[in-house]
Amino acid sequence: MACPLSAILNPVDGSAQTNPLPATGDDDEVDATISEASTEINYERMPDEEVLGFNTPTKHRPSPPNTAPGTEKFAKRGIIPPVILSPIQGSLYDRRVTTSPTLAPVLPIPPPRNPLHHLADDPPPPSHETNPRRRFSIFNALLNYPELTLEFSKQLEIEDLISLYAISKEFHFLVNGRFTAMILGQAKGKASESSKTFIFRCYKSLCMRDPARRLNESKPDELRFIPSFRWLRMILFREAVVDDILRSLAADGHRVPKQTRLTIKKIWFTIDISDNARRIGLMHNTTFWSSKDLFLATMFFLKLDMRLTHPTAGNGEIGLRKMLLGQRSLSMLAKVLKREEMRTQVDMLRMIVRFNYEPPRHRQMDIMGVPSHEIGKLQYEGWGAKSTKFIQIDELVMREAVKRRLNLQDYYVDMMIYGYINKKTFQDIRTPMPKQEDGIEEDGEDDNSSENEEANSERLRAQHGRKGARRCS
């Protein structure tokens, strides 16, 4: 539909009608159409507001001072251009649509649905492909409740939690506001003892600045340090390594009490200290290292000697135990007990070279594949950064026990026979180990196993006696 010419030419009085536009060509049809359109509309009967809604001539309505630059030549002719192309007023099509008497077609009202057949007439629910705006996500709904979201995150593994934190934008910002609560909740639920032993404040390299930008209480000008995913991954790894150590010892028959798990973690925490002064100061702390911990640590060292050397044919050599405890981590000890590392003599020699080998004439050359800067460095403070030798952890435990006058040498025999002989019946424990997470048997379980074994033997004797009586009869 073409634009009506009344929107282009709007004469108001007769003078405007007697002064048509100058002809730009010899098109008579256009001039006739203009004259017919001007005579059909009676502008005298229209109110002023409706007349001003169209483009009125400039002689009756002067233009404002800030008019468009292209309107002056049209004002000389006696009209204003139909549309001033301005981005504020919109496009030409939109302006014509808004002034048109027929804005949009009226859609027919659909007939009412039959209430008796509403179940059969209901279409199936739209899928996520056809209606993506109305699909429901239980995870997005769960994000509206931060407490439930944190409880939900405790059920995830550490790798899945990190992936979710990296992928989901909503979960990322929700966790950033409660990062410390989330990490400590994960640590308490999955590794409670390790979170209390390996305190995150002692591992600054595994911490991060608070993403919520909370200030430090002691230093108001700095952001506080909070535990990160690296610290959480570290304590979970150490929890698994300690379990592997105890499980490997128990599989070979060297059982230890259940409380030894916490003692081994304290041993690992002491090994992390890189100088003797702080190690000795920590050993003097009776809150951290109690007398019971010193007793269990001594039993653990004794069980390691029994495992790494033959209990009867061995010559009492403790060099292998000292070398494994002199490493920077107890993960090497767990791998050796599981027979994953040091399976050949060459591997053992390489470990000796790294630990305490000192060549008489060192020519800065590699020895058996060990780099020159790693030869004999594990026995010094800072793992080679200083020239003072370490006091090994077993020697620190022995010194502290002597200082406290615990007389642990009186209990060596009890430590050796623990886990092999029942205390009540003084019989060997030959029953297989029960399947437990820690792989450790308690005294009560040993008693029950011996009693069950005696009951089974009595039943077998009674059955054989009955069979012999029947044969004699």
Residue with tokens 């700095």: 222
Q: Is the domain of 398 the same as that of 284?
A: yes
Burial of 303 (0-12, 13-18, 19+ CB in 10 A): buried
Determine phi and psi for 452, rounding to 5 degrees: -65, -40
Residue 38 token pair = 């001007």
Return d(Cα 113, Cα 115) in angstroms, integer. Answer: 6
How does residue 228 score in pLDDT terms, banded at 50, 70 and 90?
A: very high
Residue 442 within any structural domain of the chain: yes
Give CA torsion, residues 171, 173, 175, 180, to 10 deg. 170
pTM of the model: 0.62
Q: Is the domain of 150 the same as that of 68?
A: no
Q: Is the domain of 198 the same as that of 274?
A: no
Return d(Cα 131, Cα 220) in angstroms, integer. Answer: 51
End-of-domain residue from the set 232, 260, 288: 232
Q: Is the domain of 294 the same as that of 400?
A: yes
Q: Is the domain of 70 the same as that of 216?
A: no
Question: Is the Cβ–Cβ distance between 388 and 380 less than 8 Å?
Answer: yes
Q: Is the domain of 262 the same as that of 219?
A: no
Residue with tokens 């507001």: 49
End-of-domain residue from the set 99, 131, 161: 99
Q: Is the domain of 309 the same as that of 372?
A: yes
Question: Is the Cβ–Cβ distance between 458 and 266 less than 8 Å?
Answer: no
Residue 105 within any structural domain of the chain: no
End-of-domain residue from the set 232, 264, 289: 232
What long-range pairs does 196-200 form, CB within 8 A, spacing at least 24?
Answer: 197/262, 197/265, 197/266, 197/269, 198/231, 198/234, 198/235, 198/238, 198/265, 198/268, 198/269, 200/226, 200/227, 200/231
Domain of 439, in residue numbers: 420-454
Residue 334 token pair = 């767990």
Return d(Cα 31, Cα 20) in angstroms, integer. Answer: 9
Residue 79 within any structural domain of the chain: yes
Per-residue pLDDT tens for 287-311? 999 999 999 999 999 999 988 887 6
Q: Is the domain of 387 the same as that of 441?
A: no
Distances, alpha carbon 469 to alpha carbons 395, 463, 472, in Å = 65, 10, 5
Q: Is the domain of 438 the same as that of 355?
A: no
Q: Is the domain of 274 the same as that of 393?
A: yes
Give CA torsion, residues 90, 96, 97, 103, to 10 deg. 140
Q: Is the domain of 398 the same as that of 260?
A: yes
Per-residue pLDDT tens for 168-214? 998 999 999 889 999 999 999 999 999 999 999 999 999 999 888 88
Per-residue pLDDT tens for 247-263? 999 888 888 999 999 99
Q: Is the domain of 413 the same as that of 436?
A: no
Total of domains in the chain:
4
